[in-house]
Amino acid sequence: MGFKQNEVNKDLVLPPVIMFTERALAQLLLIIENDFTLAGKYFRIVVSGKGCEGFTYAAGFTDLNDDDFQVRIANTEHEIYVVVDPFAGFYLQIASVDFIQDFNLDAEGFVIVNHAQSEFKGKFWRAAPEKTPPIKKSSPEEVKDA
């Protein structure tokens, strides 16, 4: 699609609503409480790719960036925040996070479900340009320095 994530105008993007299943929340709390190497890190949700069926997503622990959304997990009493960059925030307006552990399939990890995934199948932006994120306008100084 040609967007750099840092070009998205965060001021024109609504913060997403992120929910966790009980299993995902328990796993996240377990990781946070027991892995001292993650002190000061944030659980981040990102758009990791795009296919015919829509976007793919990934999660992991990273540092906080200046333009990140810090999103409180919506369906818990715990005061836990995840971070989402403006690009992912634009497309993940309502999302759920689950944790799977299937030893038969050798699959373990967090799974992100975008509740609006069906809107982003194929080359959706050709028919609906409003489904592309708002891009920051470059100032004359930025253009000159480039």
Residue 59: Cβ within 10 Å count: 19
Residue 1 confidence (pLDDT): 45
Residue 104 confidence (pLDDT): 83
Q: Give 143's pLDDT tier (boundaries 50, 70, 90).
A: very low
| Distance (Å) of CA 125 to CA 1, 61, 66, 130, 134 | 9, 30, 27, 7, 13
Residue 6: Cβ within 10 Å count: 13
Find the Cα–Cα–Cα–Cα dihedral 87, 13, 21, 72, rounded to 10°: 110
Pick the more confident residue, 143 or 108: 108
Q: Is residue 21 within 8 Å of residue 31, measured between CB atoms? A: no
Give tens-digit pLDDT for 47-76. Answer: 999 989 999 999 999 999 999 999 999 999
Which of 46, 40, 67, 64 is closest to 114 using CA atoms? 46
**What's the chain's average pLDDT?**
88
Residue 143: Cβ within 10 Å count: 8
SS3 content of the chain, % helix, strand, coil (to 5): 30, 35, 35
Single-letter residue type at 100: I
Give tens-digit pLDDT for 3-61. Answer: 444 589 999 999 999 999 999 999 999 999 999 999 999 999 999 999 899 999 999 99
Provide the CA 28 distance to its chain's centre, in angstroms.
16
Average pLDDT over residues 110-132: 90
pTM of the model: 0.84
Which of 29, 27, 68, 61 is closest to 44 using CA atoms? 61
**What domains lie within the chain, and their CATH numbers?**
5-145 (2.60.300.12)
Pick the more confident residue, 111 or 128: 111
Average pLDDT over residues 92-110: 90
